[in-house]
């Protein structure tokens, strides 16, 4: 008989009602531990106790159940010695509410992440001369409890999430730029040297937001976010009316925002620039080392093939404040370009023909000149506006005021019921950031450009 351990869960999860998603069996843990070790390492291996707790803070995760599973183990090694040790792992499971899963397309998202860990990252890592910025995946697939992903617990190596309500610093963003550049460089190198294999890998990446199946829900979701942003801007408008023009310009996006975002993600991307991107680089999907010099990217549910600048814009407009962007965006783009070319040089330094390697590097240096990188960044700035409207409520929610997504229906978006619920929960920080972004986009001419284009 399989032995199961049901442990009380804190921090917003169920306690001891033996919800199947909160139970991890001892034999499951044993199998997973063996996956990480050499086949002949242990003569015997047993798990005495399994502790389950929340793997993320309240309000830091919306699309899956994340658990930290700590197993207390006993083993006898092949040389006959006895060992006692503890191992900590992160388990990701599907949320249990079927309506929420269907509405937010959680099944497609989870399947995307399983594919990323099982079929995409291994290919990219195989050709990469450096480690990719992802946690080690122990297993990704399904068992008799459903879909699951098991990852190393990065906190045991000193990594931690930052407070999502506080904008990331320049130092944080520099670390992210370096890792994004190295990640994107792998796609560019694979596409250059093995274009057919790159196409095969891209074919496995499934767009789950900007696709026909998702269009109805996400159109209404974005329109709800747009209405919320307008309410916030009207609330923040001064008696002098400094937001009058930005408000009128944002009003002009009504009914068009999903098409604008979809066009930037899926269309108009130069194939030469197309890379496998992370797709969701907001603060909650980043874990930093204690010295802030290294970062790991987590949550691969919206991995996609698109222009690399969207990962940069996603980061800057969801997770930083205006002053940081205004002072440092040039520095960040230059660092991204510098690291991208250094990473590509690592890929091509093994060429037997040094002249061919030099020619290849000149090609990429020209293709990713600062001027071209900045032009692509500026072209895609509307994505930064849209993703800010969409995610800033979640970024700035107080931990004790998190919406109950199990109770949300698509009709709530259509009837504006969801708008009213969110309006009662947004913070002063949200209003400040939304005001800053609207002024920034207006000052840069982005809002005016959007209202002169036919989309």
The residue among 51 and 208 whose pLDDT is bigger is: 208
> What distance in Å separates the CA atoms of residue 283 and residue 319, rounded to the nearest whole number?
6
Question: Half-sphere exposure of residue 222, counting CA atoms within 13 Å on the CB side?
Answer: 24
CA distance 168 to 175: 11
Q: What is the pLDDT of residue 13?
A: 31
Residue 302's pLDDT band (cuts 50, 70, 90)? very high
Place of tokens 């023909």: 353
Range in 8-17, 253-262, 311-320, 424-433 the model is least confident about: 8-17
Over residues 52-70, the mean pLDDT reads 74
Comparison of pLDDT for 213 and 8, the residue scoring more: 213
If one counts every other C-beta atom within 10 angstroms of the C-beta of residue 447, the result is: 24
Among residues 180, 111, 383, 189, the alpha carbon closest in space to that of 267 is found at 383
- Rounded to two decimals, the pTM is 0.91
pLDDT given at position 57: 62
Structure tokens at 77: 């090694």
pLDDT(67) > 70: yes
For 182-233, the pLDDT digits (tens) are: 999 999 999 999 999 999 999 999 999 999 999 999 999 999 999 999 999 9
Distance CA 347, CA 344 (A): 5
Q: Can you read off the two tokens belonging to residue 199?
A: 């196409």
**What integer pLDDT is reported at residue 62 of this predicted model?**
66
3-state secondary structure of 151: strand
User: How high is the mean pLDDT of the chain?
Assistant: 89
SS (H, E, C) 82-108: EEEEEEEEEEEECCCCHHHHHHCCHHH
Which tokens belong to 21? 């998603």
The closest alpha carbon to 305, from 135, 149, 188, belongs to: 188
Give residue 304's pLDDT.
97
For tokens 């849209």, the residue is 386
Residue 239 has pLDDT above 90, yes or no: no
Query: What is the mean pLDDT of the segment spanning 87-107?
Result: 89
The whole-number average pLDDT for the span 323-331 is: 98
- Whether the per-residue pLDDT at 47 is higher than 80: the answer is yes
Ranges 19-33, 119-133, 178-192, 258-272: which has the least confidence:
19-33
Which pLDDT belongs to residue 375? Answer: 98
Task: Assess whether pLDDT exceeds 60 at residue 39.
Answer: yes
Helices 309-319 and 370-379 cross at an angle (nearest 10°) of: 60
Q: What is the mean pLDDT of residues 299-321?
A: 98
Q: How many CA atoms lie within 13 A of 188 on its CB side?
A: 27
Cβ neighbours of residue 420 closer than 8 Å, sequence gap 6 or more: none
Radius of gyration of the chain, Cα coordinates, nearest whole angstrom: 23
Residue 133 near residue 295 (C-beta atoms within 8 A): yes
- Distance (Å, whole) CA 21 – CA 2: 16
The answer to whether 303 and 141 have CB atoms below 8 angstroms apart is no
CATH architecture of 159-452: Alpha-Beta Complex (3.90)
- Residue ranges of the alpha helices (H) in 267-416? 309-319, 322-348, 354-367, 370-379, 381-396, 410-414
| Buried-state track 211-233, b at ≥16 Cβ within 10 A, e below 16 | eeebeebbbbbbbbbbbbbbbbb
Give the pLDDT confidence score for residue 416 in this predicted structure.
76
Q: Which residues on neighbouring strands pair with residue 148, listed in sequence order?
A: 93, 141
- Residue 451 to residue 411: CA distance in whole angstroms: 29
Q: Give the model's pLDDT for residue 438.
A: 98
Q: Cα–Cα distances in Å, from 309 out to 41, 43, 93, 277, 399?
A: 45, 51, 31, 9, 31
Strand order across the beta sheet in which 65-77 lies:
42-54, 65-77, 82-93, 146-152, 137-143
Residue with tokens 């990219």: 124
Q: Say whether pLDDT at 94 is over 70.
A: yes
| pLDDT tens digits, 154-166 | 999 999 999 999 9
pLDDT of residue 98: 86
Check residue 207 and give its pLDDT: 96
Q: Cβ contacts of residue 94 below 8 Å, gap of 6+?
A: 21, 64, 65, 101, 106, 107, 110, 146, 147
Element (H, E) at 147: strand 146-152
pLDDT at res. 389: 97
Whether the pLDDT of residue 266 is over 70: the answer is: yes
């Amino acid at each position: 008989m399989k032995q199961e351990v049901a442990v009380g869960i804190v921090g917003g999860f169920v306690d001891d009602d033996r919800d199947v998603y909160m139970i991890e069996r001892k034999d499951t843990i044993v199998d997973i531990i063996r996956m990480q070790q050499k086949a002949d390492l242990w003569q015997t291996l047993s798990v005495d106790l399994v502790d389950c707790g929340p793997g993320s803070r309240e309000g830091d995760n919306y699309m899956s159940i994340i658990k930290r599973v700590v197993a207390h183990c006993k083993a006898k090694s092949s040389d006959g010695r006895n060992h006692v040790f503890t191992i900590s792992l992160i388990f990701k499971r599907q949320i249990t509410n079927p309506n929420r899963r269907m509405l937010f397309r959680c099944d497609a998202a989870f399947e995307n992440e399983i594919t990323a860990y099982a079929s995409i990252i291994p290919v990219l890592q195989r050709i990469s001369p450096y480690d990719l910025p992802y946690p080690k995946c122990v297993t990704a697939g399904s068992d008799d409890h459903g879909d699951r992903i098991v990852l190393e617990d990065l906190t045991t190596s000193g990594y931690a999430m930052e407070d999502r309500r506080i904008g990331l610093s320049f130092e944080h963003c520099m670390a992210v730029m370096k890792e994004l550049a190295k990640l994107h460089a792998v796609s560019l190198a694979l596409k250059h040297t093995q274009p057919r294999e790159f196409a095969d890998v891209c074919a496995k990446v499934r767009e789950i937001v900007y696709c026909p199946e998702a269009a109805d829900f996400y159109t209404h979701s974005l329109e709800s976010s747009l209405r919320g942003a307008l309410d916030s801007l009207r609330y923040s408008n001064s008696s002098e009316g400094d937001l009058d023009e930005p408000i009128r310009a944002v009003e002009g996006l009504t009914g068009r925002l999903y098409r604008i975002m979809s066009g930037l993600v899926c269309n108009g991307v130069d194939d030469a620039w197309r890379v496998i991107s992370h797709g969701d680089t907001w603060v909650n999907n980043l874990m930093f080392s204690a010295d802030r010099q290294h970062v790991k990217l987590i949550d691969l549910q919206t991995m996609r093939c698109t222009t690399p600048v969207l990962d940069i814009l996603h980061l800057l407009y969801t997770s930083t404040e205006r002053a940081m962007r205004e002072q440092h965006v040039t520095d960040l783009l230059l660092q991204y370009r510098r690291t991208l070319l250094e990473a590509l040089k690592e890929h091509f330094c093994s060429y037997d023909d040094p002249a061919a390697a030099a020619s290849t590097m000149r090609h990429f240096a020209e293709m990713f000149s600062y001027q071209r990188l900045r032009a692509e960044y500026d072209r895609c700035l509307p994505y930064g506006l849209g993703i800010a409207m969409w995610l800033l409520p979640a970024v700035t929610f107080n931990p004790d005021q998190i919406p109950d997504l199990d109770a949300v229906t698509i009709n709530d978006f259509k009837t504006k019921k969801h708008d009213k619920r969110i309006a009662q929960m947004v913070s002063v920080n949200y209003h400040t950031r939304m005001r800053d972004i609207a002024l920034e986009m207006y000052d840069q001419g982005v809002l005016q450009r959007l209202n002169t284009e036919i989309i």
